[in-house]
Structures are given as structure tokens and as C-alpha cells.
Structure 1
Amino acid sequence: MKQPDFTNLGDHLVLNFLNTLQHYRGQEIDLIDSPSHLVQWILYMEQHQWLSASQRERLITQGTWDLTQVQQFRQYGRAFLGGSASRVLFFNYLSGVSQQCPLTFSLVDHGTHVERIAVPNRGGTAGLLSLLSYDFMGLITSDMLSRTKQCESSRCIAYFVNRSGKRKWCSMETCGNRQKSLRHYKRRYTSH
């Protein structure tokens, strides 16, 4: 089985998770359509330092996966960011999800800085959704929520944090270059 191409890595674990739903050639692609793909995503997040080894260990070894709940969380999160979900209902949903699996915290000294790590009390679906809820709550309570945007490319549905206020695309390397090339092509070949 080929590993999904997990792209559109952003500023928050939860945005990386929401971006596991992508468009490709007009079709919606679910990159976590099986428990093995979900585990691959968790390993990828650890590899890119979005999850710690202790978080990965707990998630993978101490629980089972319910893909329906995982995909439902992603659907609700995307609806909230897209403006089609009630704030009150979504906040209550996040609170309910986080209550199902409490988190404990530890500090990791990296020498130059100290990091707070949230570790769920159990793994699997409950642990993952608890971590994602915690990260989403951090996004909501910071000024980053107002800066969270969806890519303006018609071919992309990724979310990203627009820190500069000018950014239009999830990634200059993919969507930005595509859009600029398309504009160049239209100017050059359709204006005559």
C-alpha cells in the first residue's frame, strides 16, 4: 500500500490534520481512509516534530481506531473554519471530545527552550481527538484563528495561518506557482 502524500503542513497539528482531506483533479481525496493511513499520518507528524515520541507511542499502542469519529472531527473542524458551523455547537463539541480522554502534561528541556507536551491518558481515537481538540482550542484562543485562511487556489482546500496578511496560498511552491503560471499563460496566450 502506497503511503499518502501528506502535504500542506502548517502552523498547528490540527491544521495538518484538517489538510488530510485534499482535492486532486476535481475529486476529494481522503488521506486517512484506513487505520494504517492514520498511523502513517501520526508517524509523519512525529517525523516532522508535530508530535513527540511519547505522544506517538501512546496514540499507536494504547487504543483502537474509529475512522468515522476521526473523519467526523475533521468534517466539523473544516465546517467551523469555513464558517458553516455554529461557534457554540463547535465549542461544545470540542469540550465534549476533550472530556472523553484527559491529557497530562510534561516539560521537555531542549536546551534553548522548554516545551510543554500534552500526552493523552490513552491512545487510539479518543487520545488523538483529545490532542487535536486541545490544539484547536489553542488556535481558537489565540490571535491565530482570525489569521487562519483557506487557500485561494481553486484546486486546493488546505487551511493555513496567514501571518503576513498578504498570503493567498497554502504554499508558494505548489498553489502559488500554479496560480502565477496560470495568470501568465492567460495574459500571454488569450490577450491576442
Structure 2
Amino acid sequence: MNELPNITNNIALNFINSQLFRNGKLIELIDSLSSLENWTEQPLMDDLEYNTQLSIFNTCLECTDSLDDIIELRDKLYLLLTAISRQEEEISTLQKVIEDSLLAHPIRLVFVDTIPLYVPVDSGVAGIKCLIHFSLAKLVESGDINKLSSCANKDCPLLFINQTGRRKWCSMKICGNRHKVERFENKHKKHINWIKQEQE
């Protein structure tokens, strides 16, 4: 089972980052409801809010019997966020999408002891839409949406928050180290070719 890369601490971005490019092919990581359920059971260390959202997402999945609407949501948001990262689309477009979605699929506040939690009013796909759009609203509120970037690997579809402005890769594990290995191998080949030429 392919696991989602989870390269951010935003549940919407990690959900959207659910395709990878491998061996010349785009690999779908959400290939079943069970793969999505498996993702919701991968908490982040020391991130209570994120892990709570994952738990709520898991609960919404219990009332879902089809992936079609979930994949459609993912694909639409991926296209929009990619366009925003390339400055081909305004953030105000995303804000309108969030407003319309949360109007149709509202969220409510509940207290667990003294901790306020935001929980979708609806369950199933409607609850998932609410949760994802609320998570995107957090990106807008924090200003992190302005730091949204695409990976320097032109084949990589992953998006990430470029906090420093200097980050090039979605992650070192997925693309950064691969680039370093390829660069080393190319230099090594050039060196070997130069030696051969000198010996001729």
C-alpha cells in the first residue's frame, strides 16, 4: 500500500499531495477507501490540532462508500493551488471557494473539556469537504498560502509551504536526495569520460 508523503503539517495540503511521479508514471496514492483510512491513522508527532482533524476525517470516512467525490475534490483543489503557487490565479479565488463550501457544509465549535474543536456539521463526503476547506482557510489566515511552492523537480506534483523562500524540493527524502545522487553520478560520468579521453 502506497502511503501519502505527509510533507506538511496542514491536513488539506497532505490530502491534496496524494499523487507521486515514479518511473515515468503518475501514481495514485488514494486508490481505495482503505488507503485513505490508512492515511488518517498516521498522526504527526506533537501536533494535537492536526491529529484531531485526522481523527474527524476518519469518522467522516465511516459514512462514505465511494471515492469519486473525494478524488474530484482533491483534483479541483490541486489545480487551483498549483495555479496559485505559480501566480496564475489569485488567492481571492480560493477564498471564494472556501466561503461557498463552508456555507454549504458548515462547521461547528464544540468543547472537549476546555479545548475548543471545530467539527463538521455533516458527515460523509460533506464533512470531508468542510474539514478540507476549513484547513485551507487556516493557510489563508496564517499567510502561509503566500508561501505555497511547487517542487523544483518538474515531474513532481507535490506542493509545500516554503517558509524561508530558499527551499527547492518538496522534501529531501523524495526529490532532494535523488537530485543530489543524479548530480553526483553525472559528475562521476564526466570525470570518467575525461580520463578515458586523456588516455586515448
Instruction: Kindly provide the amino acid, as one letter, of the partner of residue 58 in structure 1.
Output: T
CA offsets per residue over residues 55-96 of structure 1, 9 Å max, x none?
1463133x2244222112211221112215565554433333
Relative to structure 1, the CA distance from residue 45 to residue 54 in structure 2 (aligned partners, 3 Å threshold; closer, same or farther) is closer
**8 Å Cα contact 1:22/1:28 also seen in 2:** yes
**8 Å Cα contact 2:147/2:165 also seen in 1:** yes
Matched with 1:137 is 137
**8 Å Cα contact 1:59/1:124 also seen in 2:** yes
Matched with 2:40 is 42
**8 Å Cα contact 1:58/1:122 also seen in 2:** no
SS of the residue corresponding to residue 76 of structure 2 reads helix
Relative to structure 1, the CA distance from residue 30 to residue 128 in structure 2 (aligned partners, 3 Å threshold; closer, same or farther) is same
SS of the residue corresponding to residue 170 of structure 2 reads coil
Q: Compare the two structures and name the one with the higher helix fraction.
A: 2
TM-score by structure 2 length?
Answer: 0.78
Name the CA distance, whole Å, in 2 between partners of 1:66 and 1:141: 32
Structure 2: where are the runs of 5+ without partners?
195-200
Paired-residue identity, %: 25
**8 Å Cα contact 2:82/2:159 also seen in 1:** no
Instruction: Kindly provide the amino acid, as one letter, of the partner of residue 172 in structure 1.
Output: M
Relative to structure 1, the CA distance from residue 92 to residue 56 in structure 2 (aligned partners, 3 Å threshold; closer, same or farther) is closer
Relative to structure 1, the CA distance from residue 85 to residue 120 in structure 2 (aligned partners, 3 Å threshold; closer, same or farther) is same
Give the greater-gyration-radius structure (CA): 2
Matched with 2:102 is 98
Name the CA distance, whole Å, in 2 between partners of 1:104 and 1:178: 44
Structure 1: where are the runs of 5+ without partners?
none
TM-score by structure 1 length?
Answer: 0.81
Name the CA distance, whole Å, in 2 between partners of 1:65 and 1:100: 21
CA RMSD of aligned residues (A): 2.7
Name the CA distance, whole Å, in 1 between partners of 2:102 and 2:78: 18
SS of the residue corresponding to residue 44 of structure 1 reads coil
Shift of 1:127: 0.6
Name the CA distance, whole Å, in 2 between partners of 1:133 and 1:23: 26
Relative to structure 1, the CA distance from residue 185 to residue 32 in structure 2 (aligned partners, 3 Å threshold; closer, same or farther) is same
Instruction: Within 5 Å, give how 1:22-61 maps onto structure 2.
Output: 22-45=20-43, 50-52=50-52, 55-56=56-57, 58-61=59-62
